[in-house]
Amino acid sequence: MSNPFDGIITQGFKDLHKNAIDALIDGCSLPCTIEYTGTKVEDCPNCYPAVVGGVGSTLYQDGGPIPFHNGHCPMCNGTSKKQIKVTEEISLVIIWDYKDWYPMGASRFALQASNTSNTSEVYAQTISKIDTFAKLKRANTIILEKNIETLVSNRFQRFGEPEPCGFGASNYVFTMWEKVNSG
């Protein structure tokens, strides 16, 4: 007996699904700010490199913001270089309500690890197109929905790895985020 469902899932059906999800992402995404640290460095404004007794060291820069107390620069730990936080704007669909989350490993763990009454306050899930995958993987922290940043602290760190998904192709990526304490 032949399978009565053979041929139902056509390329046209897959394209229709992709176009519908693309339209939802384009229409419902919000501006977010990804923060990367350690990707750029600049000279430390508090010290300058020097050789003291044949050993590389740093010396206090006159007028620097923080005097030395332990013999090395407290801003750069004696490296004379300081990491710069780099930010980039990205558009993501934010899913705040855990009942609407895509069932992935990190979201299941978040539900188990947290009291379900405050899960939506501690965790969030995002969906975006697959071209954001590398940025989400490199992100240290993210400010979700940057337009309300003055009203509420929405700084999150990635909780688990971004997970590609789709209907017949990995066109999208879901990512779980855990709120970072602002205190």
The answer to whether 129 touches 171, Cβ cutoff 8 Å, is yes
Q: How far apart are the first and last CA of the chain?
A: 65
Burial class (CB in 10 A: 0-12, 13-18, 19+), 46: buried
The model carries a pTM of 0.70
Is the distance from CB of 23 to CB of 16 less than 8 angstroms? no
| Predicted pLDDT at 113 | 55
DSSP, residue by residue, 67-136: --SSSS-TTTTTSSEEEEEEEEEEEEEEE--GGG----HHHHHHHHHS-TTTHHHHEEEEEEEGGGHHHH
For residue 144, the Cα-to-chain-centroid distance in whole angstroms is 9
* pLDDT averaged per 10 residues, the chain (length 183): 85 92 95 83 86 72 82 81 86 90 68 54 91 94 80 85 90 94 58
Listed by start position, the domains of the chain span: 11-38+85-179, 45-79
pLDDT of residue 91: 95
Give, for 174, the enclosing helix (H) or strand (E): strand 172-179
The alpha carbon torsion through 105, 136, 131, 172 (nearest 10 deg) reads: 20
The token duo for 60 is 């206090």
